[in-house]
Amino acid sequence: MTQVLYGPRLGKEGKLRVGCSAVIFDEKREKVLLTQRTDNGRWCVPGGTWNLAKVHLKL
């Protein structure tokens, strides 16, 4: 179910974004793939967002 949130930090005309993150293990499930952020140097799981405004679908 879709939920619309409003608040002082969200604004009433927010932008919709598609986001994804993933945990990727090696074959033995002993190691996990991490990426290092360029803005603060912290390590995190791979992920990102997708700008729907730039997508052109052909049906």
Encode pLDDT of 19-36 as tens digits.
788 899 999 999 999 999
> Cα separation of 3 and 1, whole Å?
6
Q: Pick the residue with more confidence: 57 or 48?
A: 48
Inter-residue contact 22 to 45 (CB < 8 Å): yes
43-47 average pLDDT score: 90
Q: What are phi and psi of 15, to 5 degrees?
A: -100, 135
16, pLDDT greater than 70: no
Mean pLDDT value across the chain: 79
Q: Give the residue extent of every domain in the chain.
A: 22-53
Please choose, from the candidates 21, 41, 40, the residue with its C-alpha nearest in 3D space to the C-alpha of residue 32: 21
Dihedral of CA atoms 39, 44, 27, 18 in degrees, nearest 10, equals -90
> Considering the entire predicted model, what is its pTM?
0.51
